[in-house]
């Protein structure tokens, strides 16, 4: 994975300068042709993308009414109801099973508390509010430990830890097709990297083009004292100061020892990371059930749209019965001028949702566009 990421970084650097010509055989190619903005990938599987999304939009010439009906029944089932299926063909049952399974994630906590509310509860003298926060944090610890235990026992091959500042991904060899244990942390800062080094956690920065800084926390304290005394008008230039909180600041942890070191730091984040001490617990995302986790289904919106080349630009949202809810003044849709859109929205859409929904859609139609 590190080699792949370093390749991305090198490729981005080579494509950064405009007018660069690259020789492919006897024909010179411009950098824009080597790194096009749109890439066609053969096959029916979605490309591997481990970043969390917020919105997925599918556009197809085939109706997505069945997706709308199924997503509505999924939410009803989560709320305590039961969905009935009868009179469906084997193919219909298969695509509906794939789609309903693809929408499922397991999350803790089920909903987030705003930072001002957490701060107010922490500073409150009421025993009940402090007990609530303490139990919430304890439940989060239990959930994180349970996820990590399943991860190390190969009962789980991927999960996420999401905070307001960074996202941590734990991924095992089952996903990477070789026996290994890896973790990644996005949007790191110099303070975070210094903390990890102090705890003896080794990592690399595969997307970083600058040299990694080797300053420890003691170095930073010493420099701070020198700067306070203003000895010789000290000027400090950090080669990685502009990298913090950017794509290049991604940290890669390879091997059981490094991954476990990251786990220890995150498990004790309240002690190590003061910036997160007054916020709600990090959100845990998993494709399988875990301790204290709740089943979570994203919001699905289906639309019936007139194609742009028909000269019409209106759309209608399917109602709860799966029928278009258009205004009475809308003209009737002409045959062949309709396409169907399905939008899936959430605070975070993990990769198992993306790949799973793509697999369900390919079982129903030969072609669709995904954004």
47-50 contacts, C-beta under 8 A, 24 or more apart: 48/351, 49/351, 49/354, 50/169, 50/171, 50/184, 50/351
In a domain, 216, yes or no: no
* Stretch among 18-22, 128-132, 146-150, 253-257 having the lowest mean pLDDT: 18-22
Model confidence at 121: pLDDT above 60:
yes
Domains identified in the chain, total number:
2
Same-domain check for residues 155 and 188:
yes
Model confidence at 211: pLDDT above 70:
no
Domain that holds residue 100: 50-73+94-104+297-308+337-370
Q: Are strands 283-286 and 158-162 parallel, antiparallel or unpaired?
A: antiparallel
pTM, whole model, 2 decimals? Answer: 0.74
Mean pLDDT of 32-44: 60
Taking Cα atoms as reference points, which of 284, 34, 13 lies closest to residue 158? 284
Same-domain check for residues 342 and 260:
no
Both structure tokens of 65: 């009414």
Same-domain check for residues 260 and 301:
no
In a domain, 23, yes or no: no
Same-domain check for residues 165 and 256:
yes
- Rounded to the nearest 10 degrees, how much is the dihedral formed by the CA atoms of 183, 186, 192, 196? 10
Residue 227's pLDDT is: 60
Look-up: residue for tokens 């490729």?
Answer: 11
In a domain, 355, yes or no: yes
Same-domain check for residues 262 and 304:
no
Both structure tokens of 352: 């198992």
Same-domain check for residues 347 and 259:
no
Same-domain check for residues 265 and 131:
yes
In a domain, 151, yes or no: yes
Mean pLDDT of 94-106: 87
Q: What is the residue-wise DSSP string for 169-199? A: EEEEHHHHTSS-EEEEE-S--HHHHHHHHHT
Residue 52's pLDDT is: 93
In a domain, 25, yes or no: no
Mean pLDDT of 35-54: 73
* Stretch among 45-59, 225-239, 339-353 having the lowest mean pLDDT: 225-239
pLDDT band (50, 70, 90) for residue 214:
low
In a domain, 135, yes or no: yes
Q: What is the residue-wise DSSP string for 126-146? A: -HHHHHHHHHHHHHHHHHHHH
Could you tell me the CATH number of the domain that includes residue 98? 3.30.70
Share of the chain above pLDDT 90, in %: 30
Mean pLDDT of 107-111: 93
Residue 274's pLDDT is: 79
Same-domain check for residues 64 and 188:
no
Same-domain check for residues 99 and 135:
no
Other C-beta atoms closer than 10 Å to the C-beta of 72 total 18
In a domain, 24, yes or no: no
Residue 24's pLDDT is: 35
182, β-bridge pairs: 171, 254
Same-domain check for residues 55 and 186:
no
Average pLDDT, the chain: 75
Model confidence at 315: pLDDT above 90:
no
Same-domain check for residues 136 and 280:
yes
Residue 305's pLDDT is: 78
Model confidence at 340: pLDDT above 60:
yes
In a domain, 16, yes or no: no
Residue 84's pLDDT is: 47
Strand order in the sheet with 105-108: 251-254, 181-185, 167-172, 158-162, 283-286, 105-108, 294-296
Same-domain check for residues 197 and 289:
yes
Taking Cα atoms as reference points, which of 171, 166, 206 lies closest to residue 189? 166
N residues, the chain: 371
């Amino acid at each position: 994975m590190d080699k792949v990421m370093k390749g991305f970084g090198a490729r981005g650097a080579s494509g950064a300068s405009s007018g660069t010509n690259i020789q492919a055989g006897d024909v010179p190619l411009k950098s824009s042709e080597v790194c096009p903005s749109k890439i066609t990938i053969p096959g029916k599987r979605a490309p591997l993308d481990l970043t969390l999304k917020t919105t997925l939009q599918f556009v197809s010439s085939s109706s997505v009414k069945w997706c709308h009906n199924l997503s509505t029944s999924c939410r009803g089932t989560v709320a305590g109801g039961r969905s009935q299926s009868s009179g469906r063909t084997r193919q219909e049952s298969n695509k509906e099973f794939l789609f309903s399974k693809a929408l499922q994630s397991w999350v803790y906590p089920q909903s987030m508390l705003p930072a001002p509310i957490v701060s107010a509860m922490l500073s409150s003298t009421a025993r009940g509010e402090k007990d609530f926060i303490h139990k919430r944090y304890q439940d989060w610890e239990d959930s994180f430990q349970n996820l990590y235990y399943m991860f190390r026992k190969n009962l789980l091959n991927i999960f996420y830890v999401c905070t307001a500042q960074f996202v941590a991904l734990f991924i095992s060899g089952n996903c990477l097709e070789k026996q290994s244990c890896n973790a990644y942390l996005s949007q790191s800062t110099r303070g975070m990297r210094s903390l990890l080094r102090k705890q003896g956690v080794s990592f690399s920065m595969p997307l970083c083009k600058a040299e990694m800084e080797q300053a420890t926390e003691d170095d930073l304290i010493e420099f701070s004292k020198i700067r306070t005394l203003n000895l010789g008008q000290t000027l400090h230039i950090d080669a990685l100061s502009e990298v913090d909180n950017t794509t290049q600041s991604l940290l890669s942890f390879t091997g059981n020892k490094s991954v476990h070191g990251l786990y220890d730091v995150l498990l004790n984040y309240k002690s190590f990371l003061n910036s997160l001490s007054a916020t709600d617990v990090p959100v845990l995302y998993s494709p399988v059930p875990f301790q204290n986790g709740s089943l979570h289904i994203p919001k699905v919106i289906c639309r019936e749209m007139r194609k742009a080349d028909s000269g019409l630009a209106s759309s209608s949202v399917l109602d709860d019965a799966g029928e278009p809810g258009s205004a009475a003044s809308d003209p009737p849709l002409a045959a062949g001028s309709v396409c169907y859109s399905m939008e899936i929205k959430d605070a975070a859409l993990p990769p198992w949702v993306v790949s799973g929904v793509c697999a369900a859609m390919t079982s129903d139609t030969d072609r669709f566009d995904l954004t």
